[in-house]
Structure 1
Amino acid sequence: MKLTKYTHACVRLEKDGKVLLVDPGNFTEDEAFAGADAILVTHEHADHLDVERVKGLDTPIWTNAGAASQLGALGDRVSVVADGDAFEAAGFAVRVYGRDHAVILPELGVPCQNVGYLIEDAVYHPGDSFTRPDREVHTSLVPIGGPWFSLPPAVEYARAVAARQTLGIHEAPLSAIGQGMMKRFLDGQGDRPFVLVTPGASVEVN
């Protein structure tokens, strides 16, 4: 399976001639959308869901109830999922984890619903949360920036998931210098590296 990273939180997975797009938001390059067979959206914020571009496609979408409410005009193209669900999207096996977006400010509480996706029991995308999967994964996508981000829980999360490789996402607020600093903290031990993947670059998921 091939994983291509796009700006901020979007990744594109390719397997057996099929393309699964996760969190195509308003920072996502147009090329990411080309040939997408299915889309997963973790939550409704614009940096994870570009409503207008998604509406312009003829592609099925899986997301939570909050984000689905923004896509109501698409009717049967949108499937609502929740924590504990499992389904197949364009030939990719997907499991759903979590319920809540991370808290940005305590006085605002939980800003919206958020679900994470484990794809092919190999790649885990948590959206804007540190909700953990319940099994080992090959590639863990870890948020490394944003208004809700804090380093200690990110490090705790990365260590607990203990994936074969860790990739940083949600990096748009960070400079290149800041992104490079994250390797110092999130790099695993031995053969469990933190991989700084620039937009448009790809890694293999075995």
Structure 2
Amino acid sequence: MKLTKYTHACVRLEKDGKVLLVDPGSFTEDAAFEGVDAILVTHEHQDHLDVDRVKGLDAPIWTNAGVAGQLGELGERVQIVADGSVFEAAGFAVRAYGKDHAIILPEWGVPCENVGFLIEDAVYHPGDSFTRPDRKVHTNLVPISGPWFALPPAVEYARAVDAVQTIGIHDALLSTIGQGMMQRFINADDRPYQQLEPGTTVEVN
């Protein structure tokens, strides 16, 4: 399976000729949307959901009830999932985890729902939370900045998730210096950390 990171929180997964897009937000490059077969959205904030571009695609969407409310006109294209849901999206096996967005200022749209996705029991995207999956994963996507972010729980989350590798996401607010610091904080011998430039593709086994 191929994983391509795009700006901020969006990742694109490709397997057996199918494309799954996760959290295509307002910062996401147009290339990420090409040939998409299915979409997962963790929560309703604009840096994770570009409503207009998602509506312009002919692809089914799996998300929580809060996001579904913003996409109501799409009808049956939108499937509501919650913590514990197990489903298939364009041939990808997916499990849903968690319920709540991390706490930030209420005027910024929190509390709101947030659901993380474990794809093919290999790649875990937590959205804006540090909710942990209940099993070993190959690639753990670790949020490393944002209005709700705090370093100690991020490091604790990265250490607690039993992953082969970690990749930094939710990183558009960081300078090069800040990204380098996160590399130092999160990297571990048994859990190597990668900070990928937008458009970079890696293989996930």
Band the TM-score falls in, shorter-chain normalisation? over 0.9
Do the aligned residues in 2 keep the contact of 1:103 with 1:109 (CA within 8 Å)? no
Do the aligned residues in 2 keep the contact of 1:83 with 1:98 (CA within 8 Å)? yes
Give distance in 1, aligned partners of 2:109 and 2:70: 21
Give distance in 1, aligned partners of 2:201 and 2:93: 21
Report what 1:162 is aligned to. 162
Report what 1:88 is aligned to. 88
Report what 1:202 is aligned to. 201
For residues 114-156 of structure 1, give each alpha carbon's deviation from its aligned partner in whole angstroms, at most 9, with x where no partner exists.
0000000000000000000000000000000000000000000
Give distance in 1, aligned partners of 2:174 and 2:20: 26
**Divergent runs of 4+, >4 A:** 106-110
Report what 1:56 is aligned to. 56
After TM superposition, the structure 1 = structure 2 runs for residues 32-111 of structure 1, keeping only pairs within 5 Å, are 32-105=32-105, 110-111=110-111
Give distance in 2, aligned partners of 1:109 and 1:49: 14
Do the aligned residues in 1 keep the contact of 2:117 with 2:124 (CA within 8 Å)? yes
Runs of 5+ unmatched residues, structure 1:
none
After TM superposition, the structure 1 = structure 2 runs for residues 110-149 of structure 1, keeping only pairs within 5 Å, are 110-149=110-149
Give distance in 1, aligned partners of 2:71 and 2:189: 42
Q: Tell me the secondary structure at the aligned position of residue 138 of structure 1.
A: strand
RMSD: 1.4
Task: Give the total of aligned pairs.
Answer: 205
Runs of 5+ unmatched residues, structure 2:
none
Give distance in 2, aligned partners of 1:109 and 1:2: 33
Give the direction of change, closer, same or farther, for the CA distance of 1:108–1:19 in structure 2 (3 Å limit): closer
Report what 2:182 is aligned to. 182
Deviates further, 39-48 or 99-108: 99-108
Give the direction of change, closer, same or farther, for the CA distance of 1:79–1:106 in structure 2 (3 Å limit): closer
Q: Structure 1 counterpart of 2:71, which letter?
A: L
Deviates further, 42-51 or 108-117: 108-117
For residues 148-202 of structure 1, give each alpha carbon's deviation from its aligned partner in whole angstroms, at most 9, with x where no partner exists.
0000000000000031000000001111211111010110224x21011110001
Shift of 1:31: 0.3
What's the TM-score, normalizing by structure 1?
0.97
Report what 1:171 is aligned to. 171
Q: Tell me the secondary structure at the aligned position of residue 166 of structure 1.
A: strand
